[in-house]
Every structure is written in C-alpha cells, then in structure tokens.
Amino acid sequence: MFNKVILVGNLTRDIELRYSQGGMGIASTGLATSRKFTSNGEKKEEVCFVDITFFARSAEIANQYLRKGSKILVEGRLSFDQWVDQNGQKRSKHSVVVETMQMLDSKGDNQGASQGGGYNNSMPAPSQDYGQDSYAPQQGRAQSYQQPQQQPSYNKAREQSRQMPSSNDIPTIDIDEDEIPF
C-alpha cells in the first residue's frame, strides 16, 4: 500500500516538544493549508487544519527553528490515532507523521526562523528509539539534513549535493501569486 502526504502551509501554534522514556524527541503542532478557487465568478478560499508530528532529531530541529506562522513544506504519512478521553468516550483523529520537512520562510521572518532549510527524517517507525545519531549537513541552495541509515544512500546523497547548480545557474520565473494553489 502507499501512504504519502505532501502539505505546504503555516504553523497554527508553536511546537510542543516532549521526550519519550527512551529519550526520543516528539514534537507536535498544527498546520493550516489553503486552497483558492473561483465558484460562480466569486473568488473563494478553503482552509484545512492538520495536526502534524515530528520524531527524533527532526522534532528538535522543528522546535529550534519553527514558530507559529512559520511556512513549511512537509512530506509524511497519514496516521489514525485513537484514544479514550477523560469522560470515557472513544476519540479518534487523523494526523500526519512528518518524514521530510522544508522550511520556506525567508531571512528575518518569524523571529529568526531558519530560511529555506530542510530536514529529511527517514525513519521506518516512530516507535523506534534513536539515541545520539550522527546527522550530516549537505551543500546546496537550501540547507538539508539527512539521517544516514545506510552508508551507500548517504554517499549517493552527498554526491548529488555536490552537483547542485549554483544560484547563478537557476533561472528566475515570474509567477502571479494568485495563480499558486496554496
């Protein structure tokens, strides 16, 4: 089966960071995404609110650099959470477990939030406990962090980052912001 979610939006609240008994970081927050469309000649906007969760090192990075209002792109998987509330009622919700994040704010936005940084948290499951793993920054236009799980894929990512074009080689594109769907 395939379970992949890609969202771009703004955080609805500051990151709430906590740690598991094994010491793994768990951060949660909310993301607001919007869709602009025209219906019967009238421009409308639809907003969707989604709870998102970061694990391990990405939780700590999110807590350090992201604030309410920060604009990010996240890739992850949809998760169905079930629990019993204080009144004994069964409750449930869908949320997104973040596997990759890209910070989209520019310099100076959101009280010093990171500009154009990214983090790839390629974890098989959030229930695994990761200690102090080594993370390797890569070169390129956007700073990216990738958790090395297998040495060959780490070397491949390192080689690809060296082949990134310089900012002088990247063409500029003039796009009207009203045409962007988010």
Q: What is the pLDDT of residues 105-141, one digit of tens each?
A: 876 554 443 344 555 554 433 433 333 333 333 333 3
Residues 6+ away with beta carbon under 8 Å from 90: 82, 83, 84
Torsion of CA 39, 41, 47, 48, to 10 degrees: 20
pLDDT given for residue 146 in this prediction: 41
| Region 66-77 average pLDDT | 96
| Radius of gyration from C-alpha coordinates of the chain | 18
**HSE of 3 in the Cβ direction (CA atoms, 13 Å)?**
13
Split at pLDDT 50, 70, 90, the class of 143 is very low
Joined tokens for residue 27: 């951060």
| CB distance 65 to 103 below 8 Å | yes
Share of the chain above pLDDT 90, in %: 56
What domains lie within the chain, and their CATH numbers?
5-84+91-126 (2.40.50.140)
pLDDT given for residue 105 in this prediction: 82
Split at pLDDT 50, 70, 90, the class of 11 is very high
The better pLDDT of the pair 46, 128 is held by 46
pLDDT given for residue 55 in this prediction: 95
Joined tokens for residue 96: 């997104």
